[in-house]
Structure 1
Amino acid sequence: MPWPERSTMSIRREFVLLAGQPESNVRELCRRYGVSPRTGYKWLDRYREQGDTGLQDRSRRPLSSPGRSDPELEQAVVQLHHRYP
């Protein structure tokens, strides 16, 4: 008999609902679900603020790239590269 397939969202929702029960131990739930307490509390905070949408994966892309060159400079380098291959 195969294992039932469960989505990441359903697992996180189950965690949050169990953690919301009276007398629940969040750290014990974290151990049971194999996540760090920091992650467990992050899920709880996001769920309180945003509901189910707060449990979705978020992009890990940085908000800014401070080391990136200006677009004009990039264009000038590309033009020089094409001129002098």
Structure 2
Amino acid sequence: MTNEERDIQRKLKVLQHAEKIGNVRKACRYFGIGRSSFYRWRDAYQKHGEAGLKNAKSIPKNLANQTPAEIVEKVLYLRRKYHLGPIRIVWYLARYHGIKISDAGVYRILKRNGLNRLPRGTRMR
């Protein structure tokens, strides 16, 4: 049984226990959950059945202020090809491509792609 199935079974137990004893407050206290969670689970169960009890991510799939893909590609190319650091990448993009991005933004892109550390043995210029 996976963690997801275990969570669904636990939520079903809470819902069934509340139905059996007829008191939501006591059932929530017995299982150590908040009533808002209980009511959210109950509404999802009534609308979608067991599929509604799955844990869903609460974040949007497309972030509004995400760095465009072409800028990310340029940053990664500069790091892989020339082993530039975040500040030099910012300088290069501003000078030759007219792209404004912060060094913290460049660092986050590099870290997200596992390139935040330069390879060992790379000489400083």
Q: Structure 2 counterpart of 1:18, which letter?
A: H
TM-score (norm 2): 0.53
State which of 73, 76, 79 in structure 1 corresponds to 2:74.
76
State the 4+ residue runs in structure 1 displaced beyond 6 angstroms: none
Which whole-Å deviations, capped at 9, do the CAs of 1:28-65 have from their partners, x for residues lacking one?
21111111111111110110001111112223443322
Quote the sequence identity (%). 24
- 1:41 equivalent to 2:39? Answer yes
Is the Cα–Cα contact under 8 Å of residues 16 and 47 in structure 1 kept in the other structure? no
Aligned partners of 2:50, 2:76: CA distance in 1, in Å?
A: 45
Q: Structure 1 counterpart of 2:48, which letter?
A: Q
Corresponding residue for residue 94 of structure 2? none
Answer 1 or 2: which has greater helix percent: 2
Corresponding residue for residue 18 of structure 1? 17
| Larger-gyration structure (1/2) | 2
Aligned residues between the structures: 78
TM-score (norm 1): 0.73
Unaligned ranges ≥5, structure 1: 1-6
